[in-house]
Structure 1
Amino acid sequence: MNLTNLSLQLTGYDITTAKKELKGHQQRITKDYRDYIEEKKAEILAFHLKNNIFYSALVGNKPQNWKQLPVLTKQDLQQPLQNRLSKGFSAKNTHVHKTSGSSGQPFIFAKDKFAHALTWASISDLYASKGLDLNTSHEARFYGIPNQGLVHYKERLKDLLSNRYRFSIFNTSSENFEQFINSFQSNKFGHLNGYTSTLVLFAKYLAEKNLILKDLCPSLTHCIVTAEMLFKEDLKLLKKQFGVNILNEYGSSETGILAFGPAEEALKIDTRLQYIEILDKNNKPVANGTSGKIVVTSLFNKAHPFIRYEIGDLGTLSLVNDQPVLTKLEGRLGDFALLPDGKKIPALAFYYVTKEIIKDTANVKEFVIIQNQPDTFTIDYVADTEFSNAEIEKIKKAITVHLNANLQVVVNKKNSLDRSKRGKLEQFRRTF
């Protein structure tokens, strides 16, 4: 049984009321989505202009037309939390949390307790809409966890209360994956939830062993991927080797889940709690179906303003039945290769090219690309068999031809790849 809701209720997070209010919001949206969104945008803006010195100073004398409001950046928020809290709120009466830092710009933020309760109510409801009951489904959690110390035991306690077991994802050896298999054979897990790259690695190991995870653990029904990009071929692999429905979750620690749904479909925006815009580099709205910066407004967080907050990702929105869906997620804003002639190549495009080449040369489990200089790239990879000199030359030649540039490419076989402290794998990194 998941005790998280009870724990939150006992510590001042009114989950019961949040669930009722969330249901009311959904009814309003079903009746008139646009009217609901405009009302909630106006309410949260008016609250922070009146009660938050930090935000009112940021807006200043600018017109309060929504499209002329400033876009809030991570740099704006890198100052003491107490400077950014609204009147009546402090670290003692809010939920205080730290961003993952995957953007390279970590900061501390806060949610008022009811906004946090709404977030948890929404997560539970979104999962339930796909047939997944968090109260009964035992979760196999593929996330990072500190190896030792008080923080380690705090995370284990949270997992226990939340009816989940956390697998160590920093060790991707065969021995560790065999322990994973043993655990699935001896426990009635209901779903998997974790970072895409590690779940894909585990699926590849299962494929090598000709194993289907649901055959080993018949109670499994779903797998939720989050925090990292999911490519089509990896989705196909996950569906085959896990034998369950694959759901894709997009969100952030600052906002909660932003979009959610079956991984093979466009992801539905959680319009009850969030308003999402797609803007160009000049912070102007782009047409539906056009890629741009993802900018988020949290409609209920009164403790801390996240109004037109630039989350750091690129994506594309479209409308289905007059409501927004995320049709494409394209990685982080700063992810691009800068070539010697000044040309910018989106990191994902570069990654796709390399992935296609490597797929034809060896049994590569995963790889990362590091751009060291405009003309110098390093490809670190994990594989059972090391590339031959001929294969390395094939990779170098293909990259040069595809990018139409004379580039130096260094290829290194690794036993494992470096991940963040939380276990995320940065697939492309530019170091200059």
Structure 2
Amino acid sequence: MNWFKISLQLNRFPINRAQEKLWQIQKIPEDVYGAYLEEQSRHIVEYHLQHNEHYRQFYGSNNFTSWEEVPVMQKKDLQRPLDQRLSKPYTKSTCYIGKTSGSSGHPFIFAKDRFCHALTWAEFIDRYQWIDIDLNSSLQARFYGIPLDFYGNLLERFKDRVSLRRRFNVFDLSEKKMLAFLERFRKSPFDYVNGYTSAIVLFAKYLQKKNLKLKDLCPTLKVCIVTSEKLFEKDKQLIETFFGVPVVNEYGASEVGLIAFENSNGEWIVNSESLFIEILDENNQILPNGEEGRIVITSLYNKAHPMIRYDIGDTGTLMPGSTLKRPILKKLTGRTNDVAKLADGKVVPGLTFYYVTKSIIEDAGSIKEFVIVQTALDTFKIEYVSEQEFTPVQVQRILTAIETFVGKNLQVELERKNILQRNISGKLKQFTSLI
């Protein structure tokens, strides 16, 4: 029984029609794929110009002229009542309504028309087949957060049940809870793990400490899919070693759906069927493949709500040799707002701190996870979960590395904690600037 597809159909998401449309798009030859993207991009802009007063005002004109003149949307442009942003004839009752996690600091409510939402799920079904996972029959161990209010919690658990997902709540990652996780894997025939990178890495470290391999406890396990947070190569190797299965990178966002998915050759294939992805510089000019810039996304089929040249807040690079039909994401660098500004005017990617401290901290072996917070122009705080305090030698190594790679005359505070604060969705933001 195709419970997953049935659940979509019961909620009036036309999954069969969406799958047929996806297949038609995939059949378009490479040499005319650019024409398809150009036609569909222009069509979605003209649709919203005709049916959406808010978008007309934002666009600054009633008519489409050229793609280069289409304004880039920021998340702050969408932080207003949803009723003001919906295109006619759609209403809240005729759409899929969702809310972003706010990990970028700009949460907002968004809408998709039902066909667009079904098309997103058709793409997930398609990509998961690449790794021998069937969303209609494969059992998922889901490492995510969950709403804490009664009705939200109940609804999410019901959705988990009909979608063959079993929730592993990442809000409690104590060793006692990890032991309970192990028992669930022993008793259930899970086909795959899916969830936030940081939580899965922490579970892999627990397995390492216990000298256990997850696949020995759960022989049906095939693959682990990590999403929403950056996966470092060392962490990928850790997961693959102690889970005993391959790790696959997924990149998506709730407001636009699946952005990229890693295939069996390790290529991060960008979704070019229902999305048009651009890499732009600071002046909104398109960068050639191989150069790093802002990831800007157009949802080609969302008629309920314009997501057109939408700056998702991430930076990345497309692989040289990518084509319009088969773009490959070479690198996902991080969020554009994850930068540290120093007193001397220097701007440093927040990820720099993570790279600097990660290798040093992990040499200790007992460090479970950590985050870095900038509290002033010259002050940074490292919060970490560990079995023991840093030794003076470890502290000095961290200070020396930060001085070498980031800057001099910086104050670094270290605080050991029992647990790190995650956001409302359960994600762990590994660098945050409070200035």
| Worse-superposed segment, 386-395 or 192-201 | 386-395
Q: Deviation of residue 397 (structure 1)?
A: 2.5
The letter of the residue matching 2:174 is S
Instruction: Find the counterpart in structure 2 of residue 10 from structure 1.
Output: 10
Q: Name the SS for the 1:109 alignment partner.
A: strand
Q: CA deviation at 1:121?
A: 1.0
Give the match for residue 291 of structure 1. 292
1:199 Cα deviation after fit: 0.1
Number of residues paired by the alignment? 432
- After TM superposition, the structure 1 = structure 2 runs for residues 32-431 of structure 1, keeping only pairs within 5 Å, are 32-61=32-61, 64-147=65-148, 149-262=150-263, 265-320=266-321, 322=323, 323-431=326-434
The one-letter amino acid paired with 2:358 is: K
Equivalent AA in structure 2 for residue 157 of structure 1: F
Q: Relative to 1, partners in 2 of residues 1:183 and 1:406: Cα closer, same or farther, differing over 3 Å? A: same
- Cα RMSD after superposing both structures: 1.6
Instruction: Identify the range of structure 1 (397-406 vs 169-178) with the bigger mean alpha-carbon deviation.
Output: 397-406
**1:185 CA displacement:** 0.4
Q: Any conservation in 1 of the 2:225–2:248 contact (CA below 8 Å)?
A: yes
| Distance in 2, Cα, partners of 1:152 & 1:29 | 45
Report the 3-state secondary structure (helix = DSSP H, G, I; strand = E; otherwise coil) of the residue aligned with 1:28: coil
CA distance in 2, matches of 1:346, 1:353: 12
Q: Find the aligned partners of 1:29 and 1:126 in 2 and give their Cα distance.
A: 20
For each residue in 1:94-135, what CA deviation from the matched residue of structure 2 results, as whole angstroms up to 9, or x when unmatched? 111111111111111111111111111111111112221111
TM-score between the two structures when normalised by the length of structure 1: 0.97
Pairwise CA distance, 1:31: 6.0
Cα deviations by residue, 1:238-260 (Å, 9 ceiling, x for unpaired): 11111112111101010111100
State the alpha-carbon separation in 2 of the partners of residues 334 and 264 from structure 1: 31
Check 1:262–1:238 CA distance in 2 against 1; reply closer, same or farther (3 A cut): farther
Q: Deviations over 1:177-200 (max 9, x none)?
A: 010001000100000000000000
Per-residue CA deviations over 1:292-340 (Å, capped at 9, x if unaligned) read 1110000000011011001011111125462311111111111111112
Q: CA deviation at 1:265?
A: 2.7
Conserved in 2, the CA contact under 8 Å of 1:266 and 1:328? no
- Deviation per residue, 1:66-120 (Å, 9 max, x gap): 0121001111111111111111111111111111111111111111111111111
1:356 partner amino acid: S
Question: Unmatched 5+ residue regions in structure 2?
Answer: none
The residue matched to 1:56 in structure 2 has which SS?
helix
Distance in 1 (alpha carbons) for counterparts of 2:32 and 2:321 = 14
Distance, in Å, in 2 between the alignment partners of 1:30 and 1:286 is 21
Q: Distance in 2 between matches of 1:9 and 1:235?
A: 36
Question: Deviation digits for residues 371-422 of structure 1, max 9, x if unmatched?
Answer: 1111111101111222122321222222123223111111111111100111
Query: Are the counterparts in 2 of residues 362 and 387 from structure 1 also a CA contact under 8 Å?
Result: no
**Aligned-partner SS, 1:167:** strand
Equivalent-residue separation in structure 1 for 2:125 and 2:51 (angstroms): 31
Give the Cα–Cα distance (whole angstroms) in 2 for the partners of residues 14 and 397 of structure 1. 57
Aligned 8 A contact 1:2 1:161 in 2: no
Q: Is the Cα contact below 8 Å between 2:360 and 2:394 reproduced in 1?
A: no
Matched to 2:133, the amino acid is L
Deviates more, 1:257-266 or 1:383-392: 257-266
The more displaced of 37-46 and 354-363 is 354-363
The share of aligned pairs that are identical, in percent, is 47
Q: Distance in 1 between matches of 2:263 and 2:209?
A: 26
Q: Distance in 1 between matches of 2:362 and 2:123?
A: 39
Which deviates more from structure 2 when the two are superposed, residues 60-69 or residues 350-359?
A: 60-69
For 2:264 and 2:348, how far apart are their aligned partners in 1? 26
The CA distance in 1 between the partners of 2:200 and 2:138, in whole Å, is: 18
Distance 1:128 1:60, change over 3 A: same
Moved more, 22-31 or 245-254: 22-31
Which residue identity is paired with 1:421? I
Q: Which moved more, 1:408-417 or 1:37-46?
A: 37-46
Task: Please report how far the alpha carbon of residue 33 of structure 1 lies from its aligned counterpart in structure 2 after TM superposition.
Answer: 2.1
Matching residue's letter, 1:378: K
Deviates most, 305-314 or 99-108 = 99-108
1:111-162 CA-to-partner distances (Å, cap 9, x unmatched) read 1111111111111111112221111110000000134512111111010010
Relative distance call for 1:354 and 1:316 in structure 2 (3 A) is: same
Change (3 A) 1:25 1:87: same
Q: For residues 270 and 47 of structure 1, what CA distance do their matches in structure 2 show?
A: 22
Q: Which shows bigger deviation, 334-343 or 146-155?
A: 146-155
* Separation (CA, whole Å) in 2 of partners of 1:136 and 1:319: 37
Deviations 1:250-280 (A, max 9, x none): 0101011110014983310111110000111
Is the contact made by 2:256 and 2:299 (CA closer than 8 Å) also made in structure 1?
yes
Runs of 5+ unmatched residues, structure 1: none
> In 2, Cα distance between the equivalents of 1:107 and 1:123?
23
62-71 or 45-54, which deviates more: 62-71
The answer (yes or no) to whether the contact 2:42–2:64 under 8 Å persists in 1 is: no
The 1-side partners of 2:24 and 2:400 are apart by: 59
